[in-house]
Amino acid sequence: MTPPAERGTGTRLADDARSGSRRALSRLLTAIESRTPVAEEALRLLYPQAGGAHVVGITGPPGGGKSTLVAALVAEARRGQRAVAVLAIDPSSPVTGGAILGDRIRMQQYAVDDAVFIRSMASRGHLGGLAAATAGSAAVLDACGFDLVFIETVGTGQSEVEVAAIADTTIVVQAPEMGDEVQAMKAGLLEVADLVVVNKADRPGADRAAAQLRSMLSLGEVDDALDAARPRPKRPRVLLASGLDGSGVPELLRALDAHDTARRRDDRPHAARIARARAQIEGILADRTRDALWSARRRSETDALVERVAAHELDPYAAVDLLRLSL
């Protein structure tokens, strides 16, 4: 419940952000990251107005050039007069807990472009390369009229697959010199990809890396034919691009648009949007349960159970059962 002193603030921020105020939008995203009642009030108003944007997740191992590729995609989208937002999930500062702001530094050329909004968000230890508030922030940017919302993950290897749960289209970025496509498959990255991009295509070995990836995906198709009962994974296209010189970027944006068109043509709710809704509901439920357990009214009871588990007088499963019964 929103405290009386804050009631109406979320509504004002939502209205101002929808009207184009970047200051209001920034304040609103800060409130979402901080999980304040103001954010909840605003999201209740804005969420029904979302759904028009194309939310694109960009993930991959560190060193693949994700940030450079995102900047090139933003430039290409702006040539088409499209409004673009970027949520760059950065590692948290070990001192302040805030984002290191790497991508906002790299994209300073868009500082005076009102049709581009770039926000660095601290991961704050959240697994999967994403900040816990990413889905809510993407919904706000969607409702505020951005055509494309790019979500760039931290780049921490095998934890990067979570982005697929909140993106309409997932791009996995590989660099030619990484070479170990088998490790990428082990990480699950290729299994969640809608598009695979071999970035830094201006470097030697890019064509070979793309060919290896295409061959690997073809082998997967043969395996599926031998085991009809196994669920069929995605069959991503493999593209070559260079974020540095822009080659292949127009083709990549067209491939993104084609995937979005195919998704919207389907009358059924897209699987990615179902997964995103599930992730949001589960996240809110977990937050509210945690808040209830550690509220001032219940803290002593929860602390007592924690102490019993620490003393091995009670197992943690029994403690959880007791806490659930008392909620």
From first to last of its 327 residues, the chain has per-residue pLDDT tens of: 556 546 689 999 999 999 999 999 999 999 998 889 999 999 999 999 999 999 999 988 878 889 999 999 999 999 999 999 999 887 544 334 443 444 555 566 777 788 999 998 876 544 444 656 888 999 999 999 999 999 998 765 444 677 888 899 999 998 887 655 555 554 567 778 899 999 989 888 889 888 888 887 776 554 454 444 444 456 889 999 999 999 999 999 999 999 999 888 876 656 777 877 887 788 788 888 888 888 888 899 999 999 999 999 999 999 999 988 877
Beta-carbon neighbour count of residue 310 at 10 Å? Answer: 10
The pLDDT value given to residue 127: 47
Produce one character per residue of 138-155: b if its CB has 16 or more CB atoms within 10 Å, e if not: bbbbbbbbbbbbbbbbbb
102: enclosing H helix or E strand: helix 102-106
pTM score of the predicted model: 0.82
The pLDDT value given to residue 128: 43
Residues 167 and 274: beta-carbon distance below 8 Å: no
The pLDDT value given to residue 268: 62
Reported CATH class of domain 50-268: alpha beta
Q: Which two tokens stand for residue 154?
A: 């931290």
Q: Classify 59 as helix, strand or coil.
A: strand
Task: Identify any residues that bridge with 120 across adjacent strands, giving them in sequence order.
Answer: 88
Residues 243 and 74: beta-carbon distance below 8 Å: no
The pLDDT value given to residue 313: 95
Amino acid in the structure at residue 39: A
pLDDT in tens, 10-30: 999 999 999 999 999 999 999
CA pair distance 7, 30, nearest whole angstrom: 17
Residue ranges of domains in the chain: 1-47, 50-268, 294-326
